[in-house]
Amino acid sequence: MADFRERRAAWLTVAAALTLSACGGISSGTGESTRTAIRDAAAELPPRYTYLLTSTCGERALIGTYEIVVDQDRAVSGKPADADTNTYVTEFPTIRALLDAALNADAKAGIEFEADAAGLPARLSIDPEPDALDDEECYRFTAITPVTGVPGKPSPG
């Protein structure tokens, strides 16, 4: 019986390790490897893009899913993407601004970061005070799409 339990425990350990390694691009902590992963993903961002930002934790106004347009590292527009999203938000972050917040976080902060298969930012969590409640920031970045021309203006032709 013990032999079965040992084999089962070993198999579960291997399965968990393979699952986590398949996630690739996940970095945690405030170490240099996490900071390097964040910088590398920031370098992949186009100068003009649209994206969906889903913010899910912390006590702040920016909770929900938003469609945001970015031009040269400045959010030029944003709006709620669904009915459950706070409609009172008037200022929207760029992905780079959120990545910079993680890079500039205190050494004691808890940082989790994940890039997608293309190297673009996919997920970011910042916990500035690990012992405090409700100060976390949790973001998911999806539908990052380069924009040609000037966002909000029709292309000539």
Q: Evaluate if residue 23 carries a pLDDT over 60.
A: no
Query: What residue has token string 């966002």?
Result: 151
Q: Evaluate if residue 24 carries a pLDDT over 80.
A: no
Q: Evaluate if residue 151 carries a pLDDT over 80.
A: no
Q: How much is the pLDDT for 8?
A: 47
What is the mean pLDDT of the segment spanning 53-64? 92
What is the percent of the chain with per-residue pLDDT over 90, rounded to a whole number? 60
Higher pLDDT, 38 or 156: 38
Strands lying side by side in the sheet with 26-28: 26-28, 110-115, 121-127, 137-146, 48-55, 64-71, 75-80
Q: How far apart are CA 7 and CA 143, in angstroms?
A: 42
- Total-model pTM: 0.77
pLDDT tens digits along 84-128: 888 899 999 999 999 999 999 998 999 999 999 999 999 999 999
Contact 34, 27 (CB under 8 A): yes
Domain boundary assignment for the chain:
26-146
What is the mean pLDDT of the segment spanning 25-51? 86
Q: How much is the pLDDT for 130?
A: 85
